[in-house]
Amino acid sequence: DDSLYQELGGQAGISQLMETFVLEIASDDRIIHHFEKTDIERLHRLLTEQVCVIAGGPCEYTGEDMVTVHTGMNITRAEFNALVEDLMTAMEQEEVPVTTQNRLLAALAEMHSEVVGL
Ligand code: HEM
């Protein structure tokens, strides 16, 4: 079922959304300290791949697995929520319909245990 992928505007829509999302993260004082050494181009590419896969699109995720990537970062629930807020802001800016926003947020919320408290 690739309906979420289609709703997000396919490859181009997801890539644009992830660009806006990464810019939101980069201006978020609550979490920016985690990303000081991060290759932002790579992060953008891998987020685009991953959201494409999650949304049922014809993509392959080529990054590290979520637990490996986030282990040692001591990400808190509050930081996780901050990142979700940044994604919501990005989706508003890109005029993603609310029902589509909620579908993507639900999928990402399920991943919190692979990211928080490691
Ligand atoms: C559902 C939520 C999240 C998803 C889907 C996600 C996804 C990803 C992906 C795909 C990567 C790239 C992996 C790679 O480089 O191979 C990544 C890296 C990273 N994530 Fe997350 N992430 C989430 C939450 C968070 C949160 C809440 C933080 C911190 C506040 C965070 C901090 C980072 C950092 C700092 C990197 C870069 C690591 C590096 O520089 O090598 N992530 N994340």
**pLDDT score for 33:** 97
> For a substitution probing ligand 1, which of 46, 65, 70 has the most ligand atoms within 8 Å of its CB?
70
**pLDDT score for 2:** 96
Q: Which atom of ligand 1 is nearest to the CA of 35?
A: 35
Give me the interface pTM, i.e. the ipTM.
0.93
For the entire predicted model, the pTM comes to: 0.95
On whether the CB atoms of residues 10 and 96 are closer than 8 A, the answer is: no
Compute, in angstroms, the gap from residue 70 CA to the centroid of ligand 1: 6
> Within 10 A of 88 (CB to CB), how many other CB atoms are there?
17
Q: What is the CATH number of the domain that holds 95?
A: 1.10.490.10
**pLDDT score for 65:** 96
Domain housing 38: 3-114
> For a substitution probing ligand 1, which of 50, 83, 114, 116 has the most ligand atoms within 8 Å of its CB?
83
pLDDT above 90 as % of the chain: 100
In the chain, the number of structural domains is: 1
Regions in the chain scoring below 50 on pLDDT: none
